[in-house]
Amino acid sequence: MQSEISLHRLANWGKTTTICLGGKTVKLKADTRKRRKDGGRKPVNTGDFAIALRKIWAYFWYRCGKILAPFLRENMQFLEQPFGITPEAKELLLKASPSTIDRVLRGDKKKLAFKGKSGTKPEKLLKKQIPVQTYYPNTDKKPFFFEIDTVYHCGSSTAGEFCSTLSATDVYSGWIELRPSLNKAHK
């Protein structure tokens, strides 16, 4: 009965409800005390810890927390002086779990994430006229039925000159033909 009341309080915070428990009608009122908005533990992994972790992470080619955590524990004696790690930051770095490292570096990882660009813009009218198939049953597979696509090798920006590849794939045999192109010209 006590657990039912506790569950009711959690689910109906600040509400009053009448329920039947063991054949008796009981009026339950969930606590109306305001919850703290700044609840939970204060973050300890800030300041010198985060700065030192970012330096080490960048120097060692942006490794994930699962690789970086044991690396820090084994090599801290060699990292202290070159990265200017304070004793407080050293203590936190040695205790940091892989998930803590990934959480602290989450914002930096988002900034470095590769943002792919598409060189094609779908036409609304053409899209409705041409049926798109992603699966071809064996009865529809015929020799010399090609799927053609252009792949741009431009990195994260489509500005300027870059190489592109015209790829043609025979659906029947799986044969692929690739032809490089220096730019977007129709030659």
What the block records as the tokens of 25 is 């009608």
pLDDT band at 124, cuts 50/70/90?
low
Q: Look up residue 96 and give its amino acid.
A: A
The pLDDT value given to residue 173: 84
Question: Are residue 61 and residue 83 in the same domain, yes or no?
Answer: yes
The pLDDT value given to residue 83: 92
Residue 187 inside a domain? The answer is no
| Count of structural domains, the chain | 3
Q: Look up residue 133 and give its amino acid.
A: Q
The pLDDT value given to residue 146: 82
What is the Cα–Cα distance from 74 to 5, expressed in whole angstroms? 50
Chosen domain end from 57, 78, 112: 112
Question: Are residue 22 and residue 66 in the same domain, yes or no?
Answer: no
Residue 38 inside a domain? The answer is no
Lowest mean pLDDT among 99-103, 127-131, 140-144, 162-166: 127-131
Chosen domain end from 112, 145, 165: 112
Mean pLDDT of the chain: 80
What the block records as the tokens of 43 is 């973050």
pLDDT band at 153, cuts 50/70/90?
confident
Residue 4 inside a domain? The answer is yes
Residue 118 inside a domain? The answer is no
The pLDDT value given to residue 92: 93
119 in Cβ contact with 164 (< 8 Å)? yes
Residue 82 inside a domain? The answer is yes
Establish how many alpha carbons lie within 13 A of residue 63's alpha carbon, considering only the half-sphere containing its beta carbon: 15
Q: Which domain holds residue 54?
A: 48-112
What is the Cα–Cα distance from 46 to 103, expressed in whole angstroms? 11
Q: pLDDT by residue (tens digit) across 6-60?
A: 665 666 666 777 778 888 888 777 665 666 666 667 777 778 999 999 999 999 9
Total-model pTM: 0.49
pLDDT band at 119, cuts 50/70/90?
low
DSSP 62-128: S--HHHHHHHHHHHHHHHHHHHT--HHHHHHHHH--HHHHHHHTHHHHHHHS-----S----HHHHH
